[in-house]
Structure 1
């Protein structure tokens, strides 16, 4: 089920969503200009490498073995990873989901509150991945944790929206308007099962960042709905 658009129009332009997308594209174009050695250096400096944080000696040993200097502060990766991607498909997929689900949430929260929500939820999502992969030596990059939080909040605040999706039925293309609650519930269950039966090392996907982000978004959505609608 590939989402094409939702059925709720936005009242205001989602400027923060546009800016986030533009920054992600700009960073990725910069990545594309790097040599393979420089790209690895960039990913390890600005992606989250749990072993770099949990082991005092890991960075020194890794630098001696690879010749790659880790110059950025460790903490910055919990923010910077949201603007770094591993490939064109990774970037396009994340930005497309942000474009579909982010505009209505920004409309609901307002520009500044949405930005704060996006960054803080991305940090919480990355902490979920970090807590369950404390010895990982692979850099986690991508905006999917923060975008999962956007989807989690959307699930709570806009359950009656429809997500018009491309669905192949018996090898024939079809467009189906799926209730947002159903679409996002199925998506979350897939992430949960993948997280339970796979790992970021085997799949290259940080499923627990998705799960943690979605849960954080849901909690915020329930808080906001209770505060403003009851």
Structure 2
């Protein structure tokens, strides 16, 4: 089967409706508690690297219901409704909820694996800098991890990595004082990097996206600003390839968890294959 149109009373199925409500209420709680009481729910419920002191096992699930801004929330929930409604109408609420959670948890596990690799790479880079400190080595770390947007608090003042880099560039590269400061600032950055939370339902939503493209590849989509209808298999396939490219490009300052998205796709594919193998008669 390549196409399916939900009935009049199924445009907002049960699980989709409740996911929209829960995500909306959690975002409202995030904004309210942050603005009124300076309570950052991301610290408690966002997904942290397992080597961070802030990591808790429940974050593997709770981060799926949190978002980093209204645009983040809206884009995820719109995609969930747009593509997930068709799947839930076809599968029923129980199977769809299982699928959604498996994709979300699988995406989190993939992201944690990437965070482990990234933190190991950062540790190795800092060790190399400590052994052979130089301005050039500092700049390599600066560029790779996009340090221009990071700040370091030193006593009563706040210093940006960009201002420190510019100051060092105007001094001798072998300046002992600058090397000492660089070691301190990079050490602080490593701790900050370990504690950066990841939030959002994007991994689970990408699983839903893939499932729609996999099961209904020839359905036509109208996606702005594309001025013509495009088949789901081309749009979703191209989107996944773009995520793969951006994930391996690993640009400094890119705060999108591309491999979490791809992890959702991977677990969606595995689950669909398992279900298809067990139910060849009336699956797709």
Partner of 2:266: 215
Maintained 8 Å contact 2:33/2:39: no
Structure 2 residue runs of 5 or longer lacking an equivalent are 120-193
Alignment of 1:160-175 (within 5 A): 160-167=218-225, 174=227
Q: Distance in 1 between matches of 2:36 and 2:28?
A: 16
Please tell me whether residue 9 in structure 1 is matched to residue 13 in structure 2. Answer: no
Q: Cα 1:28–1:100, aligned 2, differ >3 Å: closer, same or farther?
A: same
TM-score (norm 2): 0.65
Question: What is the deviation of 1:28?
Answer: 0.5
Report the aligned-residue RMSD: 2.1
Corresponding position of 1:44: 43
Shift of residue 75, structure 1, vs aligned partner: 1.0
Does the 8 Å contact 2:102/2:267 carry over to 1? Answer: no
* Cα distance in structure 1, aligned partners of 2:273 and 2:212: 10
Q: In the TM superposition, what whole-angstrom CA distance separates every residue of 1:108-153 from its partner, at most 9, and x where no partner exists?
A: 2210111111112100001101001123421000000000111111
List aligned pairs for 1:17-56, cutoff 5 A: 17-35=16-34, 41-50=40-49, 53-54=50-51
Are residues 217 and 193 of structure 1, via their aligned partners in 2, closer, same or farther at CA, if it must alter by over 3 Å?
Answer: same
State which structure, 1 or 2, has the greater radius of gyration over its C-alpha atoms: 2
Q: Which residue of 187, 195, 202 maps to 2:239? A: 187
**Alignment coverage as a number of residue pairs:** 200
Residue 39 of structure 1 and its aligned partner are, at CA, apart by 5.7
Relative to the length of structure 1, the TM-score reads 0.80
Distance in 2 between the 1:196 and 1:27 partners?
32
Cα deviations by residue, 1:186-211 (Å, 9 ceiling, x for unpaired): 10011000100026x72111100000
Runs (4+) off by over 6 Å: none
Q: Unaligned regions of 5+ residues in structure 1, if any? A: 1-6, 60-69, 169-173
